[in-house]
Structure 1
Amino acid sequence: MEGIAHRTVEVNGIKMHIAEKGEGPVVLFLHGFPELWYSWRHQILALSSHGYSAVAPDLRGYGDTEAPASMSSYTCFDIVGDLVALIDTLGVDQVFLVAHDWGAIIGWYLCLFRPDRVKAYVCLSVPYLPRNPKVKPVDGMRAMYGEDSSVCRFQKPGEMEAQMAAVGTPYVLKNILTTRHPGPPIFPKGDYGTGYNPNTPETLPSWLSEQDLAYFVTQFEKTGFTAPMNYHRNMDRNWELTAPWTGAQVKVPARFIAGELDMTYTAPGLKQYIDGGQFKKDVPNLEEVIIQKGVAHFNNQEAAEEINNYILDFIKKF
Structure 2
Amino acid sequence: MAEAIEHSVVETNGIGIHVAQLGSGPAVLLLHGFPEIWYSWRYQMPALAAAGYRAIAPDLRGYGQSDAPLGIQHYTVFDVVGDLVGLLDFLKQDQVVLVGHDWGAIIAWNFCMLRPERVKGIVALSVPFSPRNPHISPVQRFEKLIGEGFYYCRFQEPGRAEADFARHGTKAVLKTLLGSSGRGMVAPKDKELFDIFRVPDKLPPWLTEEDIEYYALQFEKSGFTPPLNYYRATDLSWRLSSPWTGARIQTPAIFITGDKDVVYGFPGTKEFIHSDNFRKFVPNLWGVTVVPGAGHFIQQQKHAEVNELILRFLASILPSRL
- Place the TM-score, normalised by the shorter chain, in its bin: over 0.9
Q: 1:187 to 1:37 in 2, by over 3 A?
A: farther
- Please give the residue correspondences for 1:78-157 in structure 2 after superposition, counting only pairs within 5 Å: 78-157=79-158
1:250 match: secondary structure: coil
Ranges of 4+ aligned residues in structure 1 off by more than 6 Å: none
Q: For residues 199 and 291 of structure 1, what CA distance do their matches in structure 2 show?
A: 27
Check if 1:186 corresponds to 2:193.
Answer: no
1:6 match: secondary structure: strand
Q: Following TM superposition, by how much is the alpha carbon of 1:187 offset from its aligned partner in structure 2, in angstroms?
A: 3.9
Check if 1:16 corresponds to 2:17.
Answer: yes
Q: 1:48-105, CA deviations, whole angstroms, 9 ceiling, x for partnerless residues?
A: 1111110000000000000001211111110000011111111011001100000100
Give the structure 2 partner of residue 307 of structure 1. Answer: 306
1:182–1:266 contact (8 Å) kept in structure 2: no
Q: 1:123-146, CA deviations, whole angstroms, 9 ceiling, x for partnerless residues?
A: 100000010000011110100010
Q: Following TM superposition, by how much is the alpha carbon of 1:194 offset from its aligned partner in structure 2, in angstroms?
A: 4.6
Q: Following TM superposition, by how much is the alpha carbon of 1:266 offset from its aligned partner in structure 2, in angstroms?
A: 1.3
Q: Counterpart amino acid of 1:41?
A: R
Q: For residues 131 and 242 of structure 1, what CA distance do their matches in structure 2 show?
A: 8
Check if 1:285 corresponds to 2:249.
Answer: no
Give the structure 1 partner of residue 241 of structure 2. Answer: 242
2:151–2:193 contact (8 Å) kept in structure 1: no
Q: For residues 290 and 182 of structure 1, what CA distance do their matches in structure 2 show?
A: 21
Q: For residues 239 and 252 of structure 1, what CA distance do their matches in structure 2 show?
A: 21
2:181–2:297 contact (8 Å) kept in structure 1: no
Q: 1:187 to 1:20 in 2, by over 3 A?
A: farther
1:120 match: secondary structure: strand
Q: 1:194 to 1:118 in 2, by over 3 A?
A: farther
Q: Counterpart amino acid of 2:249?
A: V
Q: Following TM superposition, by how much is the alpha carbon of 1:193 offset from its aligned partner in structure 2, in angstroms?
A: 2.3
- Please give the residue correspondences for 1:191-230 in structure 2 after superposition, counting only pairs within 5 Å: 191-194=192-195, 198=197, 200-230=199-229
Q: For residues 228 and 297 of structure 1, what CA distance do their matches in structure 2 show?
A: 18
Check if 1:298 corresponds to 2:297.
Answer: yes
Check if 1:64 corresponds to 2:47.
Answer: no
User: CA-atom RMSD, angstroms?
Assistant: 1.3
1:92 match: secondary structure: coil
Alignment TM-score, normalising by the size of structure 1: 0.96
1:266 match: secondary structure: coil
1:181–1:261 contact (8 Å) kept in structure 2: no
Q: Counterpart amino acid of 2:154?
A: R
Q: For residues 195 and 209 of structure 2, what CA distance do their matches in structure 1 show?
A: 20
Give the structure 2 partner of residue 27 of structure 1. Answer: 28
Q: For residues 9 and 92 of structure 1, what CA distance do their matches in structure 2 show?
A: 14
Query: Paired residues, what number?
Result: 315
Q: Counterpart amino acid of 1:290?
A: T
1:167–1:192 contact (8 Å) kept in structure 2: no
Q: 1:117 to 1:6 in 2, by over 3 A?
A: same
Q: For residues 179 and 317 of structure 1, what CA distance do their matches in structure 2 show?
A: 34
Q: Following TM superposition, by how much is the alpha carbon of 1:276 offset from its aligned partner in structure 2, in angstroms?
A: 2.1
2:186–2:193 contact (8 Å) kept in structure 1: no
Q: 1:188 to 1:17 in 2, by over 3 A?
A: farther
Q: 1:112 to 1:209 in 2, by over 3 A?
A: same
Q: Counterpart amino acid of 1:255?
A: I
Q: Following TM superposition, by how much is the alpha carbon of 1:181 offset from its aligned partner in structure 2, in angstroms?
A: 6.0
Q: For residues 109 and 32 of structure 1, what CA distance do their matches in structure 2 show?
A: 14
- Please give the residue correspondences for 1:256-271 in structure 2 after superposition, counting only pairs within 5 Å: 256-271=255-270
Alignment TM-score, normalising by the size of structure 2: 0.95
Check if 1:77 corresponds to 2:78.
Answer: yes
Percentage of pairs with the same residue: 50
Q: For residues 81 and 258 of structure 1, what CA distance do their matches in structure 2 show?
A: 27
Q: Following TM superposition, by how much is the alpha carbon of 1:192 offset from its aligned partner in structure 2, in angstroms?
A: 3.7
Q: 1:181 to 1:214 in 2, by over 3 A?
A: closer
Can you give the 5+ residue segments of structure 2 that lack an aligned partner in the other structure? 318-322
Q: For residues 139 and 302 of structure 1, what CA distance do their matches in structure 2 show?
A: 32
Q: For residues 192 and 282 of structure 2, what CA distance do their matches in structure 1 show?
A: 39
Q: For residues 82 and 89 of structure 2, what CA distance do their matches in structure 1 show?
A: 11
Q: Counterpart amino acid of 1:289?
A: V
Q: For residues 88 and 187 of structure 1, what CA distance do their matches in structure 2 show?
A: 43
